[in-house]
Amino acid sequence: MILKIDGLTKNFGALKAVNDVSFGIDQGDLVALIGPNGAGKSTLFNVITGFLTPEAGKVIFNGEDITNLPPYRIAHKRIGVAFQVTNIFPGLTVFQNIQVALFASRGKTKNMFSLAPKMMKDDTSEVLETVRLSKMAQTPAASLPQPDKKRLELGIALASRPELLLLDEPTAGQSAEETFSTMELVKKINEEQGLTILFIEHKIPVVFGIAHRIIVLQYGSVIADGEPQSVRENKEVQKAYFGEKV
């Protein structure tokens, strides 16, 4: 088991955003985290990545307790994340966005004397190829169209050579076609690179199309956890989340 969430609780005042959540994720798995708005999905991600401190519970990654570590230390443990709201470096070019994530993952960011433009060009091109942004390499990231920004976000996460990839709504704001293409990409990364992926998604058909396993959150608690078929047939999920049969 690569990730183990054990009794995790995060409160915002009286609101229990994440309430005693426990689950584990196996190496190489492709797991979806779904639930209505406000179910606590993004909060859970923020606790795992160290941006929020939980009130109780533990996050165990590769057998090591990473709860309460600062985000940059968690990144060093090789957990990559792509955020819900596009989170890139707008002042850099597409190429530099990936390059700097590579520098960070290889511990090169303290180097003050080498010329950065000449470094790690092949690795950068490889990541750009994976996320299909090679043609936009020299474009300033700020001027990318929204779907490309989401792919760049994914590229930044991949460049940090993660063992676990957390994707918060990778297809947010994308058309049906773009959604399909992004999810194909996620599936490909999982299959070809054997990367463990936990992703949050609102587009239900997408989730059932690719996830090996689905975890359903509601009011901060896990109400279902299992293979797509069993989740689909789960009465509680149908009633509480979908409102009707899916």
Distance CA 213, CA 224 (A): 10
Among 33, 34, 94, 100, binds another protein (CB under 8 A): 100
Stretch that binds another protein, among 43-51, 57-65, 209-217, 229-237 (CB under 8 A): 43-51
> Least CB distance from residue 110 to another protein, whole Å?
6
DSSP string computed for 42-101: HHHHHHHTTSS--SEEEEEETTEE-TT--HHHHHHTTEEEE-SS----TTSBHHHHHHHH
Among 56, 92, 137, 185, binds another protein (CB under 8 A): 92
Residue 112: phi and psi, rounded to 5, are: -100, -5
Window 137-176: contact mask with another protein (x via CB under 8 A): -------------------x--xx----------------
The reply on whether position 89 binds another protein by CB under 8 A is yes
- 154: which 2 tokens? 């994914």
Which of 210, 71, 86, 204 lies closest to 155 in space, CA to CA? 86
The reply on whether position 76 binds another protein by CB under 8 A is yes
Please tell me what DSSP assigns to residue 110.
T
Distance CA 23, CA 50 (A): 18
> Least CB distance from residue 4 to another protein, whole Å?
21
> Interaction with another protein in 108-127: which residues (CB under 8 A)?
108-117, 119
> Least CB distance from residue 165 to another protein, whole Å?
12
Distance CA 232, CA 128 (A): 36
Q: Count interface residues toward another protein (CB under 8 A).
A: 37
Name which of 11 and 87 has its Cβ closer to another protein. Answer: 87
Among 1, 7, 90, 194, binds another protein (CB under 8 A): 90
- Whole-angstrom CA distances from 60 to 29, 66, 106 are 16, 6, 23
Among 38, 71, 209, 228, binds another protein (CB under 8 A): 71
Report whether 96 contacts 121 (CB < 8 A): no
Question: What distance separates the 2 farthest-apart alpha carbons in the chain?
Answer: 61
Among 12, 53, 55, 70, binds another protein (CB under 8 A): 70
Stretch that binds another protein, among 6-14, 54-62, 92-100, 126-134 (CB under 8 A): 92-100
By CB under 8 A, name the binding residues for another protein.
49-51, 70-72, 75-76, 81, 83, 87-92, 96, 99-101, 103-105, 108-117, 119, 156, 159-160
